């Protein structure tokens, strides 16, 4: 099955595209018809560039774009399972970059523990979602072991965005 390419669009009210999960392939989506009450659409689009806002919605949407995923709700150590029981954790790439370390290691006063972070990453596949230009969303599935080899601090700086998503 083919992924939607950059110039094509996805409309929430239409049947979603059916994509197979392939590691290290970049999928491109353009979300349309996002609305909430009387909030102007341009404000909503800005809100969705914030990973704290977008994550809940994207975690739900991912299982529609990729039907082999099932969303796991609640505060688990992963967001999705595939049909073979593999665990996936969705992370958003924002204007500040992407962090894939455990959430208890992110924030003021919290410390990065390489051993714990790498052990968690080794058990996961990450769903990296580029929301910098929302409503354009780029999605890439990456094995956690490979991601920590490239980014051992479990952070991808904003300047490395195209290194992660580009080229496809």
Which domains can be identified in the chain, with CATH numbers? Answer: 10-163 (3.40.210)
Q: Which of 72, 45, 40 is nearest to 59 (CA)?
A: 72
Of 9-23, 83-97, 108-122, give the lowest mean pLDDT range: 9-23
Average pLDDT value for residue range 113-119 = 91
pLDDT at 18: 62
- HSE at residue 37, side-chain half, CA atoms within 13 A, is 3
Average pLDDT value for residue range 71-99 = 93
CA distances from 4 to 29, 70, 136, 160 (A): 6, 21, 11, 23
Q: Is the peptide bond before 144 cis (omega within 30 degrees of 0)?
A: no
Residues above pLDDT 90, as percent of the chain: 73
Q: Which of 29, 22, 24 is nearest to 4 (CA)?
A: 29
pTM score, two decimals? Answer: 0.86
Q: How far apart are CA 126 and CA 129, in angstroms?
A: 9
């Amino acid at each position: 099955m083919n992924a939607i390419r950059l110039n094509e669009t996805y409309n929430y009210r239409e049947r979603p595209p059916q994509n197979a999960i392939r590691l290290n392939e970049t999928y491109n989506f353009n979300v349309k018809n996002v609305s909430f009450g009387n909030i102007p659409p341009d404000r909503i689009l800005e809100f969705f560039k914030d990973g704290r806002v977008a994550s809940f919605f994207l975690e739900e949407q991912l299982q529609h774009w990729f039907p082999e995923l099932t969303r796991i709700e609640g505060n688990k150590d992963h967001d999705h399972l595939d049909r073979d029981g593999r665990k996936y954790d969705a992370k958003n790439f924002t204007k500040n970059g992407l962090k894939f370390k455990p959430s208890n290691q992110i924030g003021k006063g919290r410390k990065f523990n390489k051993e714990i972070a790498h052990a968690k990453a080794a058990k996961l596949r990450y769903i990296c979602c580029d929301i910098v230009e929302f409503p354009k969303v780029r999605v890439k599935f990456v094995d956690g072991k490979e991601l920590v080899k490239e980014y051992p601090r479990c952070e991808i700086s904003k300047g490395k965005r195209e290194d992660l998503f580009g080229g496809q």
